Structure 1
């Protein structure tokens, strides 16, 4: 049975607030970007699972799969499209002030798209969870957090297609571990 105290604490810390605090912790941004750029991990979903885990909760696989598909469409059609455009304009922005301004606006739109995605994850998690079992209690030992995150995101193996080089494996392993360490030590901002 879902612990109502955990759910109440979850509702008291919006996912966006958690994401800002967690992402700004040392090594987290680099770890998230490594996993995003190397494995195609959706950082918003990763943050969502981290938010749940610090409250002792996790999403149930069946309902999660349906929500994940909806969030993947948003990421692909909105956030990734903006990210691609922002990255594409980077060289031109170094030579043109007007392109740099445009790129900054696109970066702000990308951030807003990520915020919207996180808000949709939060609504899904907190909206009528008793009627539509979406969450369950989760008890994690600190040494299990990295594997738990990988399992939630369906990346249980480090030897995926492009990860033949040991440097890539090490970088990815270090990223998972950095996130796990920060989640284990996370304290909500006051």
Structure 2
């Protein structure tokens, strides 16, 4: 293994001391991040939890190992499809009715809380996966070079092993996605994880 990617114990310790859920709540609350995440979710088909996961790793000076990431991504995608998106769909379907009925409004709020709990569970599973690295499978590695173009780094991480949606304006869409990713990544300290 090259020395440049040998895991740094300081980075792993930072990862273990910073719960992904807490990191995600803090980042998501920063100006423009929520809107950028939702835009990327709707227009690029990206998973907000995975975006926040990669930002968390990067803030600790780490990145996911591509081969190990593929299986975990599939598991997290299944959770999102079968649990989180079902709850989100129910909540959205009840929006109009909630405006006319207090009991439906209360039901919708309960579903909203369940959706949030599903997102939290998904993030906790991402964190457990990154933290519990068995000796036969390296899951996270040091970011070899902390990039000034963190938005491009994040785009690469999110599209590892999958094709980007290419509509008529594929290049234009990717530039818009980079703008949204830059909104996320400008909130990260690119030097924090490299110390």
Matched, 1:111 2:111: no
Please point out which of 42, 51, 55 is paired with 1:46: 51
Please point out which of 132, 149, 153 is paired with 1:144: 149
The alignment's TM-score, normalised by the length of structure 1, stands at 0.88
* 1:54-73 equivalences in 2 (<5 Å): 54-73=59-78
- Tell me the distance in 2 between the aligned counterparts of 1:100 and 1:146: 38
The match for 1:37 is 42
Contact 2:155/2:178 (CA < 8 Å) preserved in 1? no
- Tell me the distance in 2 between the aligned counterparts of 1:27 and 1:186: 22
Measured against aligned partners, the alpha-carbon deviations of 1:132-181 in whole angstroms (never above 9, x if no partner) come to 211100045453200111111118xxx84346399866643321111121
Contact 1:54/1:183 (CA < 8 Å) preserved in 2? yes
Please point out which of 1, 7, 11 is paired with 1:2: 7
CA RMSD of aligned residues (A): 2.5
Which deviates more from structure 2 when the two are superposed, residues 32-41 or residues 166-175?
166-175
- Tell me the distance in 2 between the aligned counterparts of 1:90 and 1:29: 20
- Cα pair distance change 1:136/1:22, threshold 3 Å: same
- Cα pair distance change 1:169/1:68, threshold 3 Å: closer
Shift of 1:85: 1.1
Measured against aligned partners, the alpha-carbon deviations of 1:55-84 in whole angstroms (never above 9, x if no partner) come to 000010011001001111000000011111
Residue 189 of structure 2: SS of its match in structure 1?
Answer: helix
Measured against aligned partners, the alpha-carbon deviations of 1:88-124 in whole angstroms (never above 9, x if no partner) come to 1111111111111111000000000000000000000
Aligned length: 187
Contact 1:125/1:135 (CA < 8 Å) preserved in 2? yes
Structure 1 runs not aligned, ≥5 long: none
